[in-house]
Structure 1
Amino acid sequence: MPPTDYHGPVPDPTYIATQWLEGLAAAANDADIDAFAGSLVAAGWMRANHLQPDLLCFSWDYRCLNGNENITTFLSESIRGQTRLNAAGLHSFQVQATSTLGPPALVSSPLDPSAQAIQAVFEYSISSPPGRGRGFVRLVEEQRHEWKALTILFTLHEIKGHEEPRVRPTGLFPDFVTWDEIERERKGAIEGDPTVLIANVKLVVGGSLTGLICAARLTKLNVRALVIEKDARIGDVWRNRKLFPKYIPRVKLADFLEAYATGEDLVVWTSCELLPIPKYDSASKHWSVTIHRGGERQTLRPKHIIMATGNGKAYKPEFPGIEKFIGLVYHSDDHRGATPFKGKRAVVVGACNAAADMCIDFFAKGAHSVTMIQRSATCVISANAADTLVYDRVYNERFAVEDADFGSLSMPTRLGLKLAAAGSTKVAKAFDKELFDGLERAGFALTWELTPGGGEVGAVGFVAERAGAGSMMDLGCGRLIIDGKVEVKRGSIARLEADSVVFEDESRVGADVLVLATGYKPVIDNIKELFGPEITDTIGFRLGGIDEEGEHMRAYRPSGHAGLWFALGLLPQIRAFSKYLILAEELGLKETEPV
């Protein structure tokens, strides 16, 4: 890779990024793997999509490779007699000038905030499959005047002939056919012979945001997608919640989901359920599934099933003596408001997001006392810190949402966790120091480590590795704890008595209502119940979280079982990765064989 020289004391980011990109293009054109890998620093990261280094450009799966040796080995693998690099046929590289992320720019180096780095968005073309790619690079100055990539993101943006339409529909149709007639015919075709069935898993709804976004992307590509939803109305999963989320009232969000389904012309069956056990015919490459709808059973034969999964079933620990307790016991999922408990003694088991929501509600509705039982330390970040340190930077209003998602994807998850442990968590702790000092004085245990001695990865680590389990975004419960309006009791419950909770040290707390904010069982339990225990022979025992490379476990990528896909995660992941899921060759959207 030739030096990317510049003139004068201040680096010219556009010049340097362009020069670096020209060197990368030459390496790709010559299929020179050493030169291609040499465009990164020795410990650089290449993320791609199939889906990612590959979000699909080099293989039909997400990959995130660290170090020149791993990158070189991957790109050297033989595909139809060619190396991966040669077979992909990357060409026509250029800096992307239209991104709202801006032109190449000088930024602080992720590794050393006192040093400079350059970030740039670029675009390129792909020969196999024929399509357009989009990339993001962070360049650091390895030696004077020699800039190399610390991170590169390659994504397959679209496949030629299967582009997402971006032109607003006119509403005018040939032969004076009306929209109603076209929609009736389209809906009938989908309901009669869906290509993709997007389904719920017991408490997890296909008709919530995850399933709807996947369905919308498929619909825009003229793939027959049918969503089945257990609730009676789209959005009920949010209508039945309390307090959370922060920015949009739950009822408004629920109504938006309903309007979204209408606006995107989605076909959604409500009040219906996918019954055990779907059968897959490997010869015809279709499923046979039974749907319970309107009191009747109906059989469908989709080519694919997308499980829009979130949490597993509610975990409800059974305490000795529960039959003696004269109060009410229920899981936080079943909380329908604290108004009936005015003047009562409320005890909440748990110390994370759901528990905080419950405590706030009980206090606000006039409970006589509110006690939070904390069984283990919690990772806390205030909503203000999350806004200031994360969202205002990554999802600033000046960025288009698609660009903001893309910029977020550009940071390899494992590198992000290393950077958190190396210093960014300390910044978050300093930001919330007053809150944390007060919580600790009140007896609330804090942690920023996933495992003892594993490094303080903070909230970003809990979200990435555990989907947020074990953490709390403080929306006001912290102040209630500090002020003594919510009492914190640490320890394990030994038993329940008629009107109290007794702990292992024989201390007790009076209770009229006991809420179990105790989280959820693993999602795989739901999947085994629906598809049969033998499904783990192909998909394994873990869904969600991240693998060794930092990519989603089984989600938005081949699951191990033909025709079975999983969609999960937070909104940014859902928006970004649903695009790559539906570009997969297995969904029948690509005519050429994948690299």
Structure 2
Amino acid sequence: MSDADVIVIGAGPAGLACAAQLGERGLRASVLEKSDTVGPVWRRHYDRLHLHTDRGHSSLPGLPMPRGYPRYPSRDQVIAYLENYAAHFRLAPTFGCEVRMLRREAGLWHADTTRGRCAAPQVVVATGWADAPHRPTWPGQDDYRGSVIHSSEYRRPEPYRGQRVLVVGFGNSGGEIALDLADAGIDVTLAVRGPVRILPRDLLGLPILTWAIGQAWLPPRLADAINAPAIRLAIGPTRGLGLTIARKGPRRMIAEDHRVPLLDVGTLDRIRQGAIHVRGGIGHFTREGVAFVDPHGEGRTVPFEAVILATGFRADLSRLLPQATDTLDNQGSPRITGMPTGVPGLFYCGQIPSPTGQLREIGIEARRIATFASRMLKERADPA
């Protein structure tokens, strides 16, 4: 592989946006992707998935999503858009190229990959977080006779017909997978361990993201206080549904905990109708099902033939960047994204959830990274 001005790791939305913006500024970007195509994570998502952010705020820099797309594009439409984006900017990622380690030496970042080595003055880690499934375990799980998969492995409801299915977790994947199963007439239960936050996907006829962008300048606590009455009215009553609404508002939850609230696309209605059951946290597995823990600590066992873990993702980058662990938190996630990290030539893009839309934030970060990278390269060439 030939050397470049910048190594970009990942050919998902963040990697493509960064490579395109770097190219617009005359920098040579070498995009390394361990899969065999662009947007690999999007291709592995479940069939039903649509963007939870609206088309108008989800385009990457330099190429709007097609006007013919609906307000919330489908998974397949997003994949087609990413393919068109790569073609539009003539991006040619090196596929089948997994980066095992990045190390800085003599002013260059060296990437040790499955296809050899390459080096560049700067590197952008744009791997995202949805490529590292988090799979918690519980006592008795090894003895359980049903199937257990992560939500990243779920595609469609047909294989679960005639089964009782437990979906663990009440984030966007958990809520939508439970809805997908319920709409197919499958007996489905949600395991919800703690307090949750729920947002309507649209508020007063506008995408919820529009409100978040308009209030981005407000402190999270104040924005949450202002929005609370309208959100309560939009989502309707939740008492008696088995859900506890978190005291911390959605903006604070994202900013402080990096947790994204559920954007409801119909899950709450199906819970109200009894098509989706809600239980508490899992205490332990049995051979035939799961024992739940109620608020009083007493277990109640329910049989299930299948369990789907919608328990999120945790990308630990400490092995990839052993020389830059001070840029990571104690779980191996970047402390800052879209800005200089304090380590020369190292950037992260799209690694932290954003209240104003992940794809929108990726675009903002990509432009910013390209500006910093261009400036740093000029300073390197002309230190005076």
The alignment's TM-score, normalised by the length of structure 1, stands at: 0.55
Q: Which amino acid aligns with 1:209?
A: P
Q: 2:361 aligns with which of 562, 566, 573?
A: 573
Equivalent residue, structure 2, for 1:420: 223
Equivalent residue, structure 2, for 1:337: 156
Distance 1:318 1:544, change over 3 A: closer
SS of alignment partner, residue 305 of structure 1? strand
Q: 2:189 aligns with which of 365, 368, 371?
A: 371
Q: 1:447 aligns with which of 243, 246, 260?
A: 246
Residue 21 of structure 2 corresponds to residue 196 of structure 1 = no
SS of alignment partner, residue 502 of structure 1? strand
Q: CA deviation at 1:387?
A: 5.6
Distance 1:579 1:478, change over 3 A: same
Q: CA deviation at 1:309?
A: 3.7
Once residues 165 and 216 of structure 2 are traced to their aligned partners in structure 1, the CA distance between those partners, rounded to angstroms, is 43
SS of alignment partner, residue 319 of structure 2? helix
Residue 290 of structure 2 corresponds to residue 501 of structure 1 = yes
Q: CA deviation at 1:429?
A: 1.9
Deviation sequence 1:64-97 (CA, Å, 0-9, x none): xxxxxxxxxxxxxxxxxxxxxxxxxxxxxxxxxx
Residue 78 of structure 2 corresponds to residue 253 of structure 1 = yes
Once residues 228 and 305 of structure 1 are traced to their aligned partners in structure 2, the CA distance between those partners, rounded to angstroms, is 11
Contact 1:324 1:497 in 2 (8 A): yes
Once residues 196 and 273 of structure 2 are traced to their aligned partners in structure 1, the CA distance between those partners, rounded to angstroms, is 19
Distance 1:330 1:256, change over 3 A: same
Contact 1:305 1:563 in 2 (8 A): yes
Correspondences of 1:85-96 after superposition (within 5 Å): none
Q: Which amino acid aligns with 2:104?
A: Y
Correspondences of 1:317-332 after superposition (within 5 Å): 317-332=136-151
Distance 1:411 1:324, change over 3 A: closer
Deviation sequence 1:196-243 (CA, Å, 0-9, x none): 1111xxxxxx11111111110001111010111222221232122123
Residue 276 of structure 2 corresponds to residue 477 of structure 1 = no
Q: CA deviation at 1:560?
A: 2.4
Correspondences of 1:525-544 after superposition (within 5 Å): 525=316, 527-532=317-322, 534-537=323-326, 541=330
Distance 1:489 1:393, change over 3 A: closer
SS of alignment partner, residue 268 of structure 1? coil
Equivalent residue, structure 1, for 2:19: 215
Q: CA deviation at 1:364?
A: 2.7
Once residues 319 and 538 of structure 1 are traced to their aligned partners in structure 2, the CA distance between those partners, rounded to angstroms, is 32
SS of alignment partner, residue 120 of structure 2? coil
Equivalent residue, structure 2, for 1:163: none
Larger radius of gyration: 1
Q: Which amino acid aligns with 2:41?
A: V
Contact 2:178 2:188 in 1 (8 A): yes
SS of alignment partner, residue 98 of structure 2? strand
Contact 1:380 1:473 in 2 (8 A): yes
Q: Relative to structure 2, which stretch is displaced further, 460-469 or 376-385?
A: 460-469
Query: If each structure's strand is expressed as a fraction of its own residues, which one has the higher value?
Result: 1
Contact 1:346 1:513 in 2 (8 A): yes
The alignment's TM-score, normalised by the length of structure 2, stands at: 0.83
**Gap regions ≥5 residues in structure 1:** 1-190, 200-205, 395-407, 450-457, 546-552
SS of alignment partner, residue 216 of structure 1? helix
Once residues 142 and 194 of structure 2 are traced to their aligned partners in structure 1, the CA distance between those partners, rounded to angstroms, is 26
Contact 1:194 1:226 in 2 (8 A): yes
Distance 1:482 1:193, change over 3 A: same
Q: Which amino acid aligns with 1:208?
A: G
Contact 2:103 2:109 in 1 (8 A): yes
Q: 1:583 aligns with which of 346, 368, 371?
A: 371
Once residues 512 and 379 of structure 1 are traced to their aligned partners in structure 2, the CA distance between those partners, rounded to angstroms, is 29
**Gap regions ≥5 residues in structure 2:** 52-71, 353-357
Q: Which amino acid aligns with 1:373?
A: A
Residue 202 of structure 2 corresponds to residue 384 of structure 1 = yes
Q: CA deviation at 1:540?
A: 5.3
Q: Relative to structure 2, which stretch is displaced further, 507-516 or 567-576?
A: 567-576
Once residues 286 and 350 of structure 1 are traced to their aligned partners in structure 2, the CA distance between those partners, rounded to angstroms, is 42
Q: Relative to structure 2, which stretch is displaced further, 384-393 or 219-228?
A: 384-393
Q: 2:38 aligns with which of 234, 250, 272?
A: 234
Equivalent residue, structure 1, for 2:339: 557
Deviation sequence 1:118-176 (CA, Å, 0-9, x none): xxxxxxxxxxxxxxxxxxxxxxxxxxxxxxxxxxxxxxxxxxxxxxxxxxxxxxxxxxx
Aligned residues: 350
Q: CA deviation at 1:273?
A: 0.6
Coordinate RMSD, CA, aligned: 2.6
Q: Which amino acid aligns with 1:348?
A: V
Contact 2:337 2:347 in 1 (8 A): yes
Identity of aligned residues (%): 25
Relative contact order, CA 8 A, sep 6+: which one is greater?
A: 2
Deviation sequence 1:409-456 (CA, Å, 0-9, x none): 9943xx331322442223322333x2xx1x32222222251xxxxxxx
Q: Which amino acid aligns with 1:566?
A: Y
Q: CA deviation at 1:392?
A: 5.0
Equivalent residue, structure 2, for 1:279: 103
Contact 1:316 1:516 in 2 (8 A): yes
Contact 2:241 2:271 in 1 (8 A): yes
Distance 1:307 1:591, change over 3 A: closer
Q: Which amino acid aligns with 1:578?
A: A
SS of alignment partner, residue 138 of structure 2? coil
SS of alignment partner, residue 152 of structure 2? helix
Contact 1:349 1:515 in 2 (8 A): yes
